[in-house]
Copies of this chain bind each other. A is one copy, B any other.
Amino acid sequence: MPIIDYAIYVIAGDGDLEEGVSAEASSLAGHLALDNLIVIYDDNHITIDGDTNLAFSEDAARRYKAYGWRVIEVPGDGNNMEAFEKALKKAKREKERPTLIKLRTHIAYGSPNKQDTAGAHGSPLGEDEIKLIKKNYGWDPEKSFVVPDEVLAHTRKAGDRGKRAERKWNKMFEKYAEAYPELAQQFRDASDGKLSINLDELLPNFETSSSIATRKASGAVLDAVMPQLPLVLGGSADLTPSNLTKFNGAEDFQQDKRSGRYIRYGIREHAMGAIMNGISASGLTRAYGGTFLVFSDYMRPAIRMAALSRHPTIFVFTHDSIGVGEDGPTHQPVEHVAALRAIPDLMVFRPADANETAQVWKFVLKHRDGPVALCLTRQGLSVLDQSKYGSAANVSKGAYVLIDVDNPDVLLLSTGSEIGVALAAYEKLQAEGINARVVSMPCWELFEKQPQEYKDSVLLPSVKVRIGIEAGVEHGWGKWLGSKGTFIGMSTFGASAPAKVCFEKFGITVEKVVEAAKKSIAS
């Protein structure tokens, strides 16, 4: 039973065809032969600067054919309704390719002075011109907000059609639920945003003695949970073996494999972000996708859109610092965690070890009100001993005390891979009679939402000596460090060298933390 068989319509202008993201998405749509995708290209020849031929003279139809699309050029212009309807019907019948319908239109159609001009693009037409248009159409130029009766009657028919279609679909779904009760329940749960699995049972528990990169821990989580989450789609922008986003048993979603749940986005980060938003916007399905953290820049508009529209998209960013090593500064993010934290309504996670990573995923899978970004290491990290340190389950509070002593002289605040540095500094300071408290801060946005009481219990307002440690720029840390704080991290781009050498050369070391703590206490 075709409980989901709708077509996706896109109305696109020349600007949309010029933007790189649509080139990426269209190439992939052609590759995947998405036959239910219908793009109506509103080809009006006008941009804000003037005629499109100022900057755009390619053969768009030929380009889309090169992508493997069907292209239908509507004869005449956008007012040739009969031809347009015919084109739409053809497109709906198409079963092998996406379709681009090229429709020559006229901006501000019917406006005596502004039709086919850039003047109609960026600004309102103005009262006088609106009156002239109405006159031109044979309407009363003095009346506003008029809906002629025949238009009202015609439009209300659409409501009736919709009601009939809904009744029909509901009946079909009833039959579907009888035939496939489990699948129907899955559908209902997904619609309701219910997670019908027991995450605590499924999530792996990582042994303290091991060293494991958080990207690997993330991969292990996906192996464990994804077989139970049939409506979640994974993928990567051609970094699968690095992002470790392909779960055990995953099959590629391809032209000949529509049941596959792993999308090969190709080297197209921006389209990946936008497509994941589309998948997550459906209310039924959800998507995660991987790339290097440094490439989050390529998909930033999609991340912003997810935050603005509250899509529960999951951005998996691995290789999250100079710890990347030899690939060098082009591949070493230093400003990206800070830049992501600047986006409202995006939750940015940087877990400290494998078990924090599992807890981040636990939170993420339950969280449906907006996007999340996971920042994960390439390099191995010691798995923290939860009998000695605070429990990783505290990830859900955004920040928590990892280890403490009575009357701390200094707070060591850190995230991700630098928690190891903070803990070693704690030991060293302890040996020198200095009391440090170590706070893990995997998600600032979650911590901000905690009651003031909890926040004060973690950050102890009376302790002014604070060291922030993160292998990224200081930007944003001032808030936690206050006037007397010191930041140990990056202030420049990285360099090409093994991770260990990078950390040493850029001064993100136990010695530097101890030195800064002592200096700050003494001052």
Query: Taking beta carbons and an 8 Å cutoff, which residues of A are in contact with B?
Result: 14-16, 18-24, 27-28, 30-31, 47-49, 54-63, 65-68, 118, 122, 236, 238-242, 252, 264-268, 270-271, 295, 297-298, 300-301, 304, 307-308, 329-330, 334-335, 338-339, 341-345, 464, 473-484, 490-493
Known contacts A63-B66, A298-B301, A493-B344; A267/B19 CB under 8 A: yes
Q: How many copies of the polypeptide does the oligomer hold?
A: 2
Residues of B within 8 A of A265 (CB): 55
Q: Shortest distance in angstroms between A282's beta carbon and chain B's nearest beta carbon?
A: 21
Please pick, from B58, B271, B474, the residue contacting A68 in the complex, using a CB distance under 8 A: B58
Q: Shortest distance in angstroms between A24's beta carbon and chain B's nearest beta carbon?
A: 5
Pick the 8 closest A-B CB pairs, nearest first.
A20-B20, A478-B478, A55-B266, A23-B23, A478-B479, A482-B483, A62-B66, A15-B267
Residues of B within 8 A of A239 (CB): 48-49
Instruction: Name which residue of chain B comes closest to A32, CB basis.
Output: B55
Contact present for B19 and A31 (CB under 8 Å): no
A122 to B57, CA, bound (A): 38
A433 to B60, CA, bound (A): 67
Contact present for B28 and A55 (CB under 8 Å): yes
Q: Shortest distance in angstroms between A361's beta carbon and chain B's nearest beta carbon?
A: 23
Please pick, from B23, B28, B297, B474, the residue contacting A479 in the complex, using a CB distance under 8 A: B474
Contact present for B62 and A267 (CB under 8 Å): no
Contact present for A20 and B18 (CB under 8 Å): no
Please pick, from B54, B62, B473, the residue contacting A342 in the complex, using a CB distance under 8 A: B473
Please pick, from B31, B54, B241, B475, the residue contacting A252 in the complex, using a CB distance under 8 A: B54
Contact present for A238 and B492 (CB under 8 Å): no
Residues of B within 8 A of A47 (CB): 238, 266-267
A270 to B19, CA, bound (A): 8
Contact present for B238 and A342 (CB under 8 Å): no
Residues of B within 8 A of A241 (CB): 48-49, 118, 122
Q: Shortest distance in angstroms between A508's beta carbon and chain B's nearest beta carbon?
A: 15
Instruction: Name which residue of chain B comes closest to A492, CB basis.
Output: B344
A464 to B122, CA, bound (A): 46
Residues of B within 8 A of A252 (CB): 54
Contact present for A60 and B55 (CB under 8 Å): no
Q: Shortest distance in angstroms between A297's beta carbon and chain B's nearest beta carbon?
A: 4
Q: Shortest distance in angstroms between A328's beta carbon and chain B's nearest beta carbon?
A: 10
Contact present for A477 and B478 (CB under 8 Å): yes
Instruction: Name which residue of chain B comes closest to A271, CB basis.
Output: B20
Instruction: Name which residue of chain B comes closest to A268, CB basis.
Output: B18
Residues of B within 8 A of A483 (CB): 464, 482-484
